Amino acid sequence: MEKRILLVEDDNDINLLIEEQLKQDHYSVAAARDGEEALALFQKEKFDLILLDLMLPKVSGMELLKHIRETSKVPVLIISAKGSDLDKAMGLGFGADDYISKPFSMIELTARVQAAIRRATLYSETESKPAAPSVITFKDLILDLHSFSVKVKEKSMPLTAKEFHILKLFLTHQSRVFTKEQIYQLIWEEDYYGNENVINVHIRRLREKIEEDPSAPQYIRTIWGIGYRMGD
């Protein structure tokens, strides 16, 4: 069955170019040219991935992303203008999975779309398979691999798929220090091209959720000049 993609891009030429490429790659595409149209499509149909430009008329890309994350874990790939690091960081903070900067090649776009859909499919399959409960604990933190849930001091913490898998990585290797490059390659399953901002944003958001004081973390520790690890 063809994977269904929602393409949200207000530039008509770019929209048509991406849509043509995705169809050549055997994806089914619904194209929207403003946030209002995109929101209507999202509420009406089920999609396997959303390609989202941030600079949109009527409803902004950031507002649209907030609406999406209220009800769905569908992977969202931000299409952003080159150099707008703040927008990228905000998008990741609101729950986007990754971003691609304009101008980009169709080869890069195709690779990122394939990777995002592959990861989402693997996560979905993992969640749907019946398995014995598997719980990992550290101090007051409990991660349940079976229910895909996290609790801190008995309080449930809603995490995105990326945040959950980053935390799982640390918890299952509690004495190991991971570099940003290793985290990116293991979680995103792609080559690392200095995508430091992606890691920084996800670690910050994860700490804000699980740490009592994110500025003095007790779970995810920074090892200066190297990376991160779990524990004391």
pLDDT digits (tens, 9 = 90+) for 21-75: 999 999 999 999 999 999 999 999 999 999 999 889 999 888 999 999 888 889 9
Question: What pLDDT does 128 receive?
Answer: 54
Residue 130 gets which letter from DSSP?
-
Contact indicator for 27, 16 with CB cutoff of 8 Å: no
CA neighbor of 91 nearest in space, from 5, 149, 8, 165: 8
5's enclosing H/E stretch is: strand 4-8
- Dmax (CA) of the chain: 53
Distance CA 76, CA 93 (A): 12
pLDDT digits (tens, 9 = 90+) for 191-203: 777 778 889 999 9
DSSP structure string for 117-129: HHHHHHHHHHHHS
Whole-number average pLDDT of the chain: 87
Residue 84 gets which letter from DSSP?
-
Distance CA 97, CA 202 (A): 10
Q: Which two tokens stand for residue 97?
A: 């999975």
Confidence tier at 87 by pLDDT (50, 70, 90)? low
pTM: 0.57
Q: Which residues pair with 100 in a beta bridge?
A: 79
